[in-house]
């Protein structure tokens, strides 16, 4: 990632990557909800859990 310079610590880099992963997942869940005509609160626990697992496998690998 270009915006990370050598002065950043390993911990800071991990924080940046985790926050980007979260933002990406947030967008994808919102997109899924829009396509299904649901809101975040309408998702069942299993539906949300499965969606999160799928997105974690896809993102930033």
Would you state the pLDDT for residue 6? 62
In the numeric block, the tokens 């610590």 are attached to: 9
Q: Which two tokens stand for residue 46?
A: 């299993």
Q: What is the pLDDT of residues 4-59, one digit of tens each?
A: 556 668 888 778 777 877 888 888 888 888 888 888 888 888 888 888 888 777 75
**Residue 14: CA count within 13 A, CB half-sphere:** 3
Would you state the pLDDT for residue 32? 86
Would you state the pLDDT for residue 5? 56
**Is this structure's pTM higher than 0.75?**
no
Would you state the pLDDT for residue 43? 83
Q: How far apart are the first and last CA of the chain?
A: 13
């Amino acid at each position: 990632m270009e915006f990370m310079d050598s002065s950043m610590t390993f911990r800071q880099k991990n924080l940046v990557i985790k926050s980007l992963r979260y933002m990406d997942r947030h967008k994808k869940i919102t997109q899924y909800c829009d396509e299904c005509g649901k809101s975040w609160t309408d998702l069942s626990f299993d539906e949300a859990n499965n969606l999160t697992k799928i997105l974690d496998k896809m993102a930033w690998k």
